[in-house]
Amino acid sequence: MAAACLAAQRSKDPSTQVGAVIVNETDNKIVGTGYNGMPAGLDDQFPWKRDGEEPLKKKYIYVTHGELNAIMNKSSADVKGCTMYVTLFPCNECAKLIIQSGIRKVIYLSNKYEKSNETQAAKRMFDEAEVKTEQFKTTCSEILINFHECLQ
Ligand SMILES: O=c1[nH]c(=O)n([C@H]2C[C@H](O)[C@@H](COP(=O)(O)O)O2)cc1CO
Ligand SMILES: [Zn+2]
Protein backbone atom coordinates (compact mmCIF):
# COMPACT_ATOMS: atom_id res chain seq x y z
CA MET A 1 0.00 0.00 0.00
CA ALA A 2 2.97 2.27 0.63
CA ALA A 3 3.98 1.75 -3.01
CA ALA A 4 0.43 2.66 -4.09
CA CYS A 5 0.60 5.85 -2.00
CA LEU A 6 3.94 6.70 -3.57
CA ALA A 7 2.50 6.17 -7.07
CA ALA A 8 -0.47 8.40 -6.10
CA GLN A 9 1.90 11.24 -5.32
CA ARG A 10 2.79 11.44 -9.00
CA SER A 11 -0.80 12.37 -9.90
CA LYS A 12 -1.48 15.94 -10.95
CA ASP A 13 -5.05 15.84 -9.69
CA PRO A 14 -5.24 18.62 -7.10
CA SER A 15 -8.15 17.02 -5.28
CA THR A 16 -7.79 13.22 -5.26
CA GLN A 17 -4.60 11.35 -6.10
CA VAL A 18 -5.21 7.64 -6.69
CA GLY A 19 -2.38 5.11 -6.82
CA ALA A 20 -2.70 1.40 -7.66
CA VAL A 21 -0.21 -1.45 -7.45
CA ILE A 22 -0.83 -4.99 -8.69
CA VAL A 23 1.03 -7.91 -7.10
CA ASN A 24 1.09 -11.49 -8.32
CA GLU A 25 -0.39 -14.46 -6.55
CA THR A 26 2.71 -16.62 -6.18
CA ASP A 27 5.17 -14.26 -4.49
CA ASN A 28 3.58 -10.81 -4.11
CA LYS A 29 5.87 -9.36 -6.75
CA ILE A 30 4.77 -6.02 -8.22
CA VAL A 31 3.58 -6.55 -11.79
CA GLY A 32 1.92 -3.18 -12.43
CA THR A 33 1.58 0.31 -11.01
CA GLY A 34 -0.45 3.35 -12.00
CA TYR A 35 -2.02 6.59 -10.88
CA ASN A 36 -4.80 8.84 -12.16
CA GLY A 37 -3.76 11.18 -14.92
CA MET A 38 -4.67 12.52 -18.31
CA PRO A 39 -4.07 10.14 -21.23
CA ALA A 40 -0.46 10.19 -22.45
CA GLY A 41 0.49 13.34 -24.32
CA LEU A 42 -2.57 15.35 -23.25
CA ASP A 43 -1.29 16.49 -19.88
CA ASP A 44 -1.19 20.23 -20.27
CA GLN A 45 -4.27 20.86 -22.36
CA PHE A 46 -6.97 19.35 -20.19
CA PRO A 47 -8.70 20.76 -17.11
CA TRP A 48 -8.30 19.46 -13.55
CA LYS A 49 -11.45 21.31 -12.49
CA ARG A 50 -14.02 19.21 -10.61
CA ASP A 51 -16.90 21.69 -10.41
CA GLY A 52 -18.99 23.59 -12.94
CA GLU A 53 -21.84 23.10 -15.37
CA GLU A 54 -19.94 22.03 -18.47
CA PRO A 55 -18.70 18.43 -18.51
CA LEU A 56 -16.15 19.21 -21.25
CA LYS A 57 -14.49 21.73 -18.95
CA LYS A 58 -14.13 19.29 -16.05
CA LYS A 59 -11.61 16.52 -15.49
CA TYR A 60 -14.01 13.58 -15.18
CA ILE A 61 -14.66 13.01 -18.87
CA TYR A 62 -10.91 12.84 -19.67
CA VAL A 63 -9.00 11.45 -16.70
CA THR A 64 -7.61 7.90 -16.80
CA HIS A 65 -8.12 6.15 -13.48
CA GLY A 66 -5.20 4.78 -11.48
CA GLU A 67 -6.52 1.22 -11.68
CA LEU A 68 -6.75 1.28 -15.48
CA ASN A 69 -3.20 2.63 -15.73
CA ALA A 70 -1.90 -0.09 -13.40
CA ILE A 71 -3.54 -2.82 -15.50
CA MET A 72 -2.36 -1.24 -18.77
CA ASN A 73 1.20 -0.96 -17.40
CA LYS A 74 1.43 -4.63 -16.41
CA SER A 75 4.83 -6.22 -16.85
CA SER A 76 3.50 -9.78 -16.79
CA ALA A 77 1.59 -11.58 -19.54
CA ASP A 78 -1.63 -11.15 -17.59
CA VAL A 79 -2.84 -10.28 -14.10
CA LYS A 80 -4.98 -13.35 -13.46
CA GLY A 81 -5.15 -14.26 -9.77
CA CYS A 82 -3.38 -11.04 -8.76
CA THR A 83 -4.19 -8.64 -5.93
CA MET A 84 -4.57 -4.89 -6.43
CA TYR A 85 -3.60 -2.42 -3.73
CA VAL A 86 -5.38 0.86 -4.42
CA THR A 87 -5.62 4.05 -2.40
CA LEU A 88 -9.34 4.58 -3.16
CA PHE A 89 -12.15 2.04 -3.55
CA PRO A 90 -12.56 1.52 -7.31
CA CYS A 91 -15.47 2.99 -9.28
CA ASN A 92 -17.85 0.86 -11.36
CA GLU A 93 -15.79 1.25 -14.55
CA CYS A 94 -12.61 0.18 -12.79
CA ALA A 95 -14.48 -2.69 -11.14
CA LYS A 96 -15.40 -4.01 -14.60
CA LEU A 97 -11.76 -3.81 -15.71
CA ILE A 98 -10.54 -5.47 -12.53
CA ILE A 99 -13.02 -8.31 -12.84
CA GLN A 100 -12.38 -8.85 -16.56
CA SER A 101 -8.60 -8.82 -16.09
CA GLY A 102 -8.81 -11.70 -13.62
CA ILE A 103 -7.66 -9.80 -10.52
CA ARG A 104 -9.10 -11.70 -7.55
CA LYS A 105 -8.59 -9.36 -4.63
CA VAL A 106 -8.72 -5.60 -4.05
CA ILE A 107 -7.17 -4.05 -0.96
CA TYR A 108 -8.15 -0.39 -0.63
CA LEU A 109 -7.21 2.43 1.71
CA SER A 110 -9.95 5.08 1.51
CA ASN A 111 -13.62 4.57 0.75
CA LYS A 112 -14.61 8.22 0.82
CA TYR A 113 -17.21 7.81 -1.94
CA GLU A 114 -18.81 4.77 -0.31
CA LYS A 115 -22.35 6.12 -0.72
CA SER A 116 -22.04 6.99 -4.43
CA ASN A 117 -23.84 4.91 -7.06
CA GLU A 118 -20.49 4.16 -8.72
CA THR A 119 -19.01 2.69 -5.55
CA GLN A 120 -22.14 0.77 -4.68
CA ALA A 121 -22.32 -0.70 -8.19
CA ALA A 122 -18.63 -1.59 -7.99
CA LYS A 123 -19.12 -3.37 -4.66
CA ARG A 124 -22.10 -5.25 -6.02
CA MET A 125 -20.14 -6.42 -9.07
CA PHE A 126 -17.13 -7.45 -6.97
CA ASP A 127 -19.35 -9.46 -4.62
CA GLU A 128 -21.16 -11.18 -7.48
CA ALA A 129 -17.91 -11.96 -9.31
CA GLU A 130 -16.31 -13.15 -6.05
CA VAL A 131 -13.51 -10.61 -6.18
CA LYS A 132 -12.57 -10.10 -2.52
CA THR A 133 -12.47 -6.52 -1.22
CA GLU A 134 -10.75 -5.61 2.01
CA GLN A 135 -9.81 -2.33 3.67
CA PHE A 136 -6.09 -1.96 4.35
CA LYS A 137 -5.33 -1.96 8.05
CA THR A 138 -1.98 -1.19 9.60
CA THR A 139 -0.53 -0.01 12.88
CA CYS A 140 2.14 1.89 10.94
CA SER A 141 0.98 5.48 10.34
CA GLU A 142 3.82 6.61 8.10
CA ILE A 143 6.87 5.52 6.13
CA LEU A 144 9.63 8.08 5.86
CA ILE A 145 11.79 7.95 2.76
CA ASN A 146 15.17 9.47 3.42
CA PHE A 147 17.10 9.94 0.17
CA HIS A 148 20.32 10.68 2.03
CA GLU A 149 20.22 7.36 3.88
CA CYS A 150 19.47 5.55 0.62
CA LEU A 151 22.56 7.12 -0.94
CA GLN A 152 24.96 5.51 1.56
O1 LIG B 1 -11.78 4.43 -9.14
C2 LIG B 1 -11.30 5.58 -9.20
N3 LIG B 1 -10.01 5.76 -9.64
C4 LIG B 1 -9.46 6.98 -9.87
O5 LIG B 1 -8.31 7.09 -10.30
N6 LIG B 1 -10.23 8.10 -9.59
C7 LIG B 1 -9.69 9.43 -9.83
C8 LIG B 1 -10.43 10.21 -10.89
C9 LIG B 1 -10.22 11.62 -10.44
O10 LIG B 1 -8.98 12.09 -10.97
C11 LIG B 1 -10.15 11.51 -8.92
C12 LIG B 1 -11.45 11.80 -8.20
O13 LIG B 1 -11.60 13.18 -8.13
P14 LIG B 1 -12.55 13.92 -7.06
O15 LIG B 1 -12.30 13.27 -5.69
O16 LIG B 1 -12.13 15.33 -7.15
O17 LIG B 1 -13.97 13.67 -7.53
O18 LIG B 1 -9.80 10.16 -8.64
C19 LIG B 1 -11.50 7.98 -9.13
C20 LIG B 1 -12.05 6.76 -8.91
C21 LIG B 1 -13.46 6.63 -8.44
O22 LIG B 1 -13.61 6.72 -7.11
ZN1 LIG C 1 -12.32 4.13 -11.57
**Whole-number pLDDT of residue 152:** 77
The model's confidence at residue 29, banded by pLDDT at 50, 70 and 90, is: very high
- What is residue 150's three-state secondary structure? helix
**Whole-number pLDDT of residue 45:** 85
DSSP 63: P
What confidence tens digit (pLDDT) does each residue in 87-119 have? 999 999 999 999 999 999 999 999 999 999 999
pTM of the predicted structure, to 2 decimals: 0.96
Distance CA 33, CA 73 (A): 7
- Protein residue whose Cα sits closest to atom 15 of ligand 1: 16
Distance CA 87, CA 5 (A): 6
Specify binding-site residues for Zn(2+). 65, 91, 94
Which regions of the chain does DSSP assign to beta strands (E)? 19-23, 30-35, 83-88, 105-110, 132-135
What range defines the domain where residue 33 resides? 1-149
What confidence tens digit (pLDDT) does each residue in 48-98 have? 999 999 999 999 999 999 999 999 999 999 999 999 999 999 999 999 999
**Whole-number pLDDT of residue 151:** 87
Distance CA 56, CA 25 (A): 40
Write the CATH number for 63.
Answer: 3.40.140.10
- Buried-exposed string 105-121: b where 16+ CB fall within 10 A, e elsewhere: bbbbbeeeeeeeeebee
Q: Per the structure, how many domains does the chain have?
A: 1
Ligand 2 centroid to residue 83 C-alpha, Å: 16
**Whole-number pLDDT of residue 137:** 96
Distance CA 122, CA 116 (A): 10
